[in-house]
Amino acid sequence: MSRRCPWLLRLACLLLPLAGCVDVRGFAGAWSGKIVPDDQVRQGFDREARVERLQLANIDLRGVTATLTTSDRGYFDEARLTPVVKYASDPLATLTFDGSPLRSYLLFAPLASEPQGLPVWLLVSLYSDDHVELRAIRGNDLFGVFHLTRSGE
């Protein structure tokens, strides 16, 4: 047994840094999908609304660069999403809910039709089964949950 202990100890020391480590870089790329049409989680978006393209880049546990285009160009037309800088350091970044996302990012952007208006808050959540959920929230006038899958680049 004494011969095994040093070997097992070395193996544990090698694997310990990997424990709890999540690599989200594989989520970089283009995503698209439909809104959840249920009136309980949809306000201000048409029942047929789509994310034509959510482009994720420079993604890691600290943040993401993203642009968003929706089927209604009055909402988002290649909008650059602005990250909430301190979000990654807050426990909110590890917020978990149904489906246990690997990581969530809080971003915001103005509507294309109201560039000086109130921003829309966007929660982008990454899931281990290779899908993304996007939640768009602005007060009580706009709320939508979109289920996204990889799209052709």
Q: How far apart are CA 23 and CA 108, in angstroms?
A: 24
Residue 90 backbone phi and psi in degrees, to 5: -100, 150
What is the predicted pLDDT for the residue at 82?
94
Q: Is 27 exposed, middle or buried (0-12, 13-18, 19+ CB in 10 A)?
A: buried
Tens-digit pLDDT string for the chain (153 aa) = 445 555 444 544 444 343 456 788 898 999 999 999 999 999 999 999 999 999 999 988 888 999 999 998 789 999 999 998 877 778 777 777 777 888 889 999 999 999 888 999 999 999 999 999 999 999 999 999 999 999 975
Tokens of 64: 């993401």
Q: Specify the pLDDT at position 16.
A: 38
How many other CB atoms sit within 10 Å of the CB of residue 48? 10
What pLDDT does residue 12 have?
44
- Look at domain 23-150 and name its CATH class: mainly beta
Q: What is the pLDDT of residue 32?
A: 98
Exposure string of 92-108, with b = 16+ CB inside 10 Å and e = fewer, is: ebeeeeeeebebbbbbb
3-state helix, strand, coil in the chain (%, to 5): 20, 40, 40
Query: Which segments within the chain are labelled E, that is strand?
Result: 29-35, 50-57, 65-70, 79-83, 103-109, 120-127, 131-138, 142-150
- Judged by DSSP in three states, 98 sits in coil
pLDDT recorded at residue 97: 75
Tokens for 74, please give them.
């009055």
* Residue 3 confidence (pLDDT): 53
Domain coordinates in residue numbering, the chain: 23-150
Residue 53 backbone phi and psi in degrees, to 5? -160, 120
Pairing of strands 65-70, 50-57: antiparallel
CA 85 from chain center: how many Å? 15
